[in-house]
Amino acid sequence: MKVGTDGVLLGAWCMQGIDGDRPLRVLDVGTGSGLIALMVAQRFASAQITAIDIDEAAVEQARENFARSPWHNRLNALLCPFSDLPPDVKYDAIVSNPPYFVDSLLNPSALRTAARHAVSLSLDTLIQGSALLLEDCGTLSLVLPAEQEKNAVAVAASCGLVLRRLTKVFTKQGKPQKRSLMEWQKSVFDTALQPVTDTLVLMEDNAPRSEKYAALTKDFYL
């Protein structure tokens, strides 16, 4: 699986405001090459990250990438469906760039189909399962197509997850919104707070990256 903009955005954007020195248990669902898990490991020095995928080749690639990283002792890649995770193991944060292209035509490649379509893990199942696996005050962070934003908010609310952050992503100024970066908290306190909402334009003035995009990802792009 190639490194994509969606994964880079989520890996740099998720879990902001969390104490980087606090021991954290993090789950990366659908890890692919392990990109997001590696970015979380780079950002949070005491985090233990479990990365899961249902594709054996992806897990092997993630394991190889983990082994070559400076954070190999805090990263673990597992060949494991989301539904098989033990319910008694809880996480401080769950992150995922999920298989969300539910309405597009199936790709002839079975591997790319599994990665790009919600054939094995629906968005509803991912959100509902994450609510059960999160510690109190734990966070769920996703990158989704803009058209799935409202459904995700409704499903999460029904599970007791409170939307805390929302970044609407545009490729260029004046173009339709393409993605939503969304972060919920499993809150046992105030559930009426409004989320912090902003926008991110990826390209401006014919530059490959806008100033805001460059600032967000500066620690990861060479």
What tens digit of pLDDT does each residue of 23-52 get? 999 999 999 999 999 999 999 999 999 999
Cα–Cα distance between 96 and 75 in angstroms, integer? 16
Q: Which residue has the tokens 């659908």?
A: 30
**In the predicted structure, residue 85 carries a pLDDT above the cut 50:** yes
Cα–Cα distance between 222 and 180 in angstroms, integer? 25
User: Domains of the chain (ranges plus CATH)?
Assistant: 5-217 (3.40.50.150)
**Backbone φ and ψ of 34, nearest 5°:** 90, 10
Beta bridge partner(s), residue 25: 48
The pLDDT of 146-171, averaged and rounded, is 95
pLDDT in tens, 210-220: 999 999 999 99
pLDDT in tens, 115-130: 554 556 899 999 999 9
Per-residue confidence (pLDDT) for residue 1, from 0 to 100: 62
Q: Which residue has the tokens 């954007």?
A: 13
Q: At what angle do helices 123-133 and 149-158 cross, to 10 degrees?
A: 40
Per-residue confidence (pLDDT) for residue 117, from 0 to 100: 47
Per-residue confidence (pLDDT) for residue 105, from 0 to 100: 41
Name the DSSP class of 39.
H
Per-residue confidence (pLDDT) for residue 207, from 0 to 100: 81
Per-residue confidence (pLDDT) for residue 208, from 0 to 100: 84
